[in-house]
Structure 1
Amino acid sequence: MHANGDDFLLVDSRDKHNPVTSDLVRYLADRNHGIGFNQLAVLLACDDADAHLLFWNADGSVLNACGSATRGAADLLMNESNATQVTVRTGRGLLTCERTSSGAITVDMGEPLLGWADVPLAEAQDTLALSLAGKPAACSMGNPHCTYFVDDLAHLDVAAQGTVIETHPLFPRKTNVHFVQVINRRHIRLRIWERGGGVPLGSGSCSCAAAVNGIRRGLLDSTVEVECDGGIVTVQWDGIGPVFLTGPVTRSFSGIVTDGN
């Protein structure tokens, strides 16, 4: 499936053993020899939710949050049960997902984590203005995020700058890196360097974190249209509670993966 071009693979293991390992993720993520995706999500049976989701980056690393794949899993679960609301368990806890009247999916992404130790950072710092050139802001949506606010994205080398910041010693678990151009208080343009993934067309959790950091800076209203390379999602945050992410998801294809022989 994909969400505005941010593609992910859903592996349904609700009634069987979970086969996913880091090696398998890297093999399947290879766009030449495997299937290709930015993230992979495994659906597992769950006693207190419609499914338990586990997330992996394309490089085989594990993450706690993926807004795009969560929307995709919610879409699948709603279609199965002919429902307009489901609950999923992730590393962020229990998340409620709803289908809007337009067919888009809204996910309660949980409250952002704003303390330096929660991001995490290697040392105590003000997460609204880190001690890096450009004074970016940081937060966590279950995974670390670092947001730069720039005047113009047109000539920015996202890959070159993102690689350096992702692996900076200030981020012991590495970080996603955002470059944000504020169009107006309800609309931002966002480009992303994704931890363990490169430059995607979009990212749900990055869209949430970028909006959160812009709202914290006083640059944005509580409802923000986030325009990524692949399309637009809407992020809502009242500055206190959970972040709500709304956007489309599309099924590209489905099938059975064999052992490759």
Structure 2
Amino acid sequence: MSKTIKFTKMHGAGNDYIYVDTSLYGIDNPEAAAVKWSDRHKGIGSDGLVLIDKSPIPEADFSMRIFNADGSEAMMCGNASRCIGKYLHDKGLTDLTEIRLLTLSGIKTLSLHLRVDGTTESVTVDMLAPTLTCRSQLATTDGTMTDGEVEAGDRTFRGTFVSMGNPHFVIFTDNIDDIDIARYGAILEHHPLFPERCNIEFAEVEDNGNIRTRVWERGSGITMACGTGACATAVAAALTGRSPRHCTIVMDGGELDIRWDETDGHVYKTGPAEFVFDGETEYT
């Protein structure tokens, strides 16, 4: 028996997801729903599905689960978390401007920046500290890689591994437009070096110090932006001396401000969050 589900489509720097308040609408099979609804020709069209609910633990205010367009569940999404902050505040579900969000990679604090009219203009997310050693996500002897070599098809890339709760491999290049992102991103996502698959970032440091970045997102393919990917890119740039710890990441969908704080070691990400439209769909 089918039922009608109300949803909201939102995007953060072009990284678009379908948002459902599961305190109102239960989604028994979110993996299948994510695949069906994310289809850009036969469905709503998105990079995935995000489920919002009240937190089951007192340390957080709300919780999120996120499913990629292929149905796989992600640990975290920085762009989606910013959108959740706007969703919760601007739809009147909370009057908090500091929201503790429970994710599979820990509790993230969302700091909302409001316009004069009280709506949310942008959100800063405390993404916590990056992990540079993770044997479960990187199959090297010590679980680390900084500016190391990886073969993909007919090319060898040099990259740096950074985990933001989810795995990222950041490759710096002199000309990002020369790289076939779809081809090499797909190969590297499934490379044996990454037991849990991997998000792949191709980055170029521009003359003004900004870092142009394109992303092959694990489970979704090429996306307009990736919040955790922007954070990983900034960390990798600082680690390899290509950039200071505070920089602007320029993605296909827009710019994100990233600061890797020297005091607490956390990465802080600030960027926009926008409503696209509200809608209804049938769910069986």
TM > 0.5 between the two? yes
Q: Which residue of 2 aligns with 1:63?
A: 74
Structure 2 segments unaligned to the other structure (5+ residues): 1-9, 116-120, 151-155
How far apart in 1 are the matches of 2:85 and 2:29?
A: 20
How many pairs align?
259
Residue 251 of structure 1 pairs with residue 275 of structure 2 = yes
Aligned to 2:173: 150
> Counterpart of 2:97?
84
* Aligned-partner residue type, residue 91 of structure 1: L
Aligned to 2:65, which of 21, 40, 54?
A: 54
Residues 30 and 67 of structure 2 are in contact (CA less than 8 Å); yes or no, is this contact kept in structure 1? no
Distance 1:54 1:186 in 2: 34
Question: Mean Cα displacement is larger for which, 177-186 or 241-250?
Answer: 177-186
Runs of 4+ aligned structure 1 residues displaced above 4 Å come to none
Question: Alpha-carbon deviation of 1:58?
Answer: 0.5
The worse-fitting range, judged by mean Cα deviation, of 190-199 and 251-260 is 251-260
- Provide the residue aligned with 2:38 in structure 1: 29
- Does structure 2 conserve the Cα–Cα contact (< 8 Å) formed by 1:29 and 1:36? yes
Give the match for residue 121 of structure 1: 138
Displacement of 1:121 after TM fit? 1.1
1:6 aligned onto 2:18: no
> TM-score, normalized by length of structure 1?
0.93
Q: Distance in 2 between matches of 1:99 and 1:21?
A: 28
1:242 and 2:266 equivalent?
yes
Identity over the aligned pairs, expressed in percent?
A: 32
**Alignment partner of 1:97 is 2:110:** yes
- Give the letter aligned to residue 108 of structure 2: L
Distance 2:89 2:257 in 1: 20
Cα displacement (A) at 1:127: 1.7
Change (3 A) 1:243 1:184: farther
The structure in which a higher percent of residues are strand is 2
Q: CA deviation at 1:184?
A: 4.8
Which is further off, 39-48 or 243-252? Answer: 39-48
CA distance in 1, matches of 2:31, 2:126: 28
Q: Does the Cα contact within 8 Å between 1:6 and 1:203 map onto a contact in 2?
A: yes
1:190 aligns with 2:208: no
Are the equivalent residues in 2 in contact too, given 1:185–1:219 (CA < 8 A)?
no
Do residues 38 (structure 1) and 55 (structure 2) align? no
Q: Equivalents in 2 of 1:96, 1:184: separation in Å?
A: 33
Partner of 2:192: 169
Q: Secondary structure at the match of 2:232?
A: helix
CA deviation string 1:190-227 (max 9, x = no partner): 01111111111111111111111111112111111000
| RMSD (Å) for aligned C-alpha atoms | 1.8
CA distance in 2, matches of 1:17, 1:29: 18
Q: Secondary structure of 2:193's match?
A: coil
Q: Distance in 1 between matches of 2:159 and 2:187?
A: 14
Distance of 2:199 and 2:207 partners within structure 1: 23
TM-score (norm 2): 0.86
**Post-superposition offset of 1:113:** 1.0
Question: Residue in 2 aligned with 1:227?
Answer: 250
- Distance between the aligned counterparts of 1:21 and 1:250, measured in 2? 23
SS for the counterpart of 1:254 is strand
Which one is further off, 234-243 or 31-40? 234-243
